[in-house]
A and B are shown apart, each in its own frame.
Chain A
Amino acid sequence: MAPTYNIAMVSDFFFPQPGGVESHIYQLSTKLMDRGHKVIIITHAYDGRTGVRYLTNGLKVYHVPYFVIYRSTTFPTVFSFFPMFRNIVLRERIDIVHGHASLSNLCHEAILHARTMGLRTVFTDHSLFGFADAASILTNKLLKFSLSDVDHVICVSHTCKENTVLRASLDPLMVSVIPNAVVAENFKPYSNPAEVARHSFGQDPPPARPLGPHDTITIVVISRLFYNKGTDLLTAAIPRILENHPNTRFIIAGSGPKAIDLEQMVEQNVLQDRVEMLGSIRHEEVRDVMIRGHVYLHPSLTEAFGTVIVEAASCGLYVVCTQVGGIPEVLPSHMTVFAKPEEDDLVAATGKAIAALRANKVRTELFHEQVKSMYSWTNVAIRTERVYNGISGAISEAEFYGYDASNPASWSATRGRSGVQSFALIDRLKRYYGCGIWAGKLFCLCVIIDYLIFLFLEIWWPRGKIDICPDWPRKTVDERREPGVR
């Protein structure tokens, strides 16, 4: 019988805020619950979304009341989260704490506290970072701190893995790559013209398929309009693309600080009839916007995975994207045209894509089935479950890390015999001490204080005084002989 776990997903980013990390956490949690695990989510409070909530399937969400500083990240209050976190972990009987997103302070704090409390921890990194500027250096140091003692790290792409290993000085063996997935059913290509007309925002006719030589090609861009999403590149490229290709138009969805630049560009070049700006749209509307187009343009400057291009391909769009980060790993080459992240190349690549579509050389109608067979959340959940098994010792070290790695001599001194990280305070301190000349000592101090707070909490709020939550009825999986009861 496969073991089941009580898992706490911790991240600053969760619904009602839209985004890739948010839907990743939700989808992964749902699929893990389908496999018989118990999953709760810990995030901070949003406007109108506070307290303890239940989502579908009995997925429980704790919106911890904390103060938000920047782009919905909470203020780093290293220790103040501990009492609350301990209470939640004890009442839900959590075994594994799974943090998401490297910009989330809540996640880093949770990992630190979880290790102090003697729980297994996993971290999923969703983003790429630089090494040069001050903010990155600080974030990287923080990441190094919290990942010094993590049991396992999951990255969404190989590029992301390389980046994370370098930033946090990790042993590459303890980093797995598990890509994102899409719910292919939610991103079906358009089936009949009536459907498109119903969802249409404007009065435009549905996209012509197959394309005639003079039919309009619609290029869709859906992204938050921030610098790192390449909005500047987009602003520069749009007038040139429209100039080169008379029968094309753009649909741009999303909002952000760069929206004003785009609007100015549209006004200056008098392109109001060829560029439609929809503003921010909800995630469930993404598909309805996508099926109105032929080409999806993704000008991002940095991207760890790029779920949106998988969604676009699933909707049967030909994808033009910049060759940065993990994007080249995501889709097979017949679905995409790559460009360097610069204006000229982006214009040229879009031209190539339009030409290929005009020549009807691309079988976009097959994309959906192909994407569906490549990406599924169930698969992601199975692979994540394997990570949980590996770190909790349910499968052997040799099986989890590979047979070469099972040689004990190749392990660092602080790792236990079974290949899992030891909880002993002295071993933990050894791991933190290596973080830097000053930082190492500072981190050790933090860990010691955290441990003392833990001891204090054990005395002040004893475990016996915390009510245990009743579990939602667990699902059972077919492979399993008995119901998953721990």
Chain B
Amino acid sequence: MLTTTAHLYIRRPSPTTAEFTVTTRPALTLPLRLALLSLSILRLTLFFVILFTLYTRFLTTSSLHSSPETNPLLLALASHLHTLHLSPAGQALTRLVAPIPAWLLAGISIPLLCFTVAWELHTSESLLVLRGLGIQTSTTGGFPWGSWRPATRFIPTEKIRDVLINEAFRGFEVRYYLVVVVEGEEDVVVVFPKLLPRRKIVEAVWRGVRGCLYEANDGMWYGVGKG
């Protein structure tokens, strides 16, 4: 399939740096690349179809020539859209959406539009540990409500009181999760909040983080590979 269950990648560019990434993306093989490419094309097509549907429904009423627009680029775009609208496919689409009330059409297509643009198939969350500097958590994927860039958070070393594994009720189950206790903050920072990987991964990351952050580097490496 296109996604897998969350699994762990560890990168160690230098002895004092480690990046733990938990992701749902499987290893990129050729068939997977092709599938992902076709999925992107599908999404792009869907995006333009929806956009065009909105155009045929809401913007074609105003006459092309009465428009006060003088920008030649926009004029060209408008004329192209108009020809497309008058084409058989455009007419068919117009007839298809005609019986749907305007509010319903807008209500369906606008969220769908956002979805095709913003939604990411794979969720990946990472924890970057730099000895002496601090740790940085970041989350990408899913639906980035509110912000477009990956949500990152940097916690300097002197602010870190502890890194620990805790258990909590979540929905109908009890989950293990990794937390960073930050000095002077009421709430702890949950690492990998979206994926909440299983105990094996959480433990591996915990050992790795403590090894990288606190323990003297004597060649002993606590991370135990991929989860």
Question: Which residues of A are at the interface with B, using a C-beta cutoff of 8 A?
Answer: 50-52, 62, 64-65, 83-84, 87-88, 91, 461, 465-469
**B174-A52 in contact (CB<8A):** yes
**B173-A83 in contact (CB<8A):** yes
**A83-B167 in contact (CB<8A):** no
Taking the nearest CB of chain B, how far is it from the CB of A458, in angstroms? 14
Q: Which of A65, A84, A469 contacts B173 (CB 8 A)?
A: A84
Taking the nearest CB of chain A, how far is it from the CB of B211, in angstroms? 19
Taking the nearest CB of chain A, how far is it from the CB of B6, in angstroms? 12
**A52-B176 in contact (CB<8A):** no
Beta-carbon nearest neighbor of A87 in chain B: B173
Rounded to whole angstroms, the CA-CA distance of A144 and B81 in the bound complex is: 75
Question: Which residues of B are at the interface with A, using a C-beta cutoff of 8 A?
Answer: 166-169, 172-176, 198-200
Most buried by B among A461, A467, A469: A467
Cross-chain pairs A/B with CB under 8 angstroms, 8 sampled:
A50-B169, A51-B167, A52-B166, A52-B167, A52-B174, A84-B172, A467-B199, A467-B200
Beta-carbon nearest neighbor of A85 in chain B: B172
Rounded to whole angstroms, the CA-CA distance of A468 and B198 in the bound complex is: 10
The interface residues of chain B lying within 8 Å CB-to-CB of A91 are 174
Rounded to whole angstroms, the CA-CA distance of A397 and B77 in the bound complex is: 89
The interface residues of chain A lying within 8 Å CB-to-CB of B168 are 51-52
**A83-B172 in contact (CB<8A):** yes
**B169-A64 in contact (CB<8A):** yes
**A467-B169 in contact (CB<8A):** no
Q: Which of B166, B169, B173, B200 contacts A466 (CB 8 A)?
A: B173
Rounded to whole angstroms, the CA-CA distance of A83 and B175 in the bound complex is: 13
Taking the nearest CB of chain B, how far is it from the CB of A486, in angstroms? 20
Given A51-B167, A52-B167, do A467 and B176 touch, yes or no (CB 8 Å)?
A: yes
The interface residues of chain A lying within 8 Å CB-to-CB of B174 are 52, 62, 84, 87-88, 91
The interface residues of chain A lying within 8 Å CB-to-CB of B169 are 50-52, 62, 64-65, 84
Taking the nearest CB of chain B, how far is it from the CB of A231, in angstroms? 38
**A467-B198 in contact (CB<8A):** yes
Taking the nearest CB of chain B, how far is it from the CB of A115, in angstroms? 20
Rounded to whole angstroms, the CA-CA distance of A465 and B5 in the bound complex is: 11
Rounded to whole angstroms, the CA-CA distance of A91 and B175 in the bound complex is: 10
Beta-carbon nearest neighbor of B173 in chain A: A87
Beta-carbon nearest neighbor of B167 in chain A: A52
Taking the nearest CB of chain A, how far is it from the CB of B206, in angstroms? 13
Beta-carbon nearest neighbor of B168 in chain A: A51
Rounded to whole angstroms, the CA-CA distance of A88 and B198 in the bound complex is: 15
The interface residues of chain B lying within 8 Å CB-to-CB of A84 are 169, 172-174
The interface residues of chain B lying within 8 Å CB-to-CB of A50 are 169
A52-B174, A62-B174 known, 11 other contacts, Cβ within 8 Å: A52-B166, A62-B169, A65-B169, A83-B173, A84-B172, A87-B173, A87-B174, A91-B174, A461-B173, A465-B198, A468-B199
Most buried by A among B167, B168, B199, B200: B167
The interface residues of chain A lying within 8 Å CB-to-CB of B198 are 465, 467
Of all A-B residue pairs in the complex, the 8 with the closest CB atoms, nearest first, are A83-B172, A467-B199, A52-B167, A87-B173, A84-B172, A51-B168, A467-B198, A87-B174
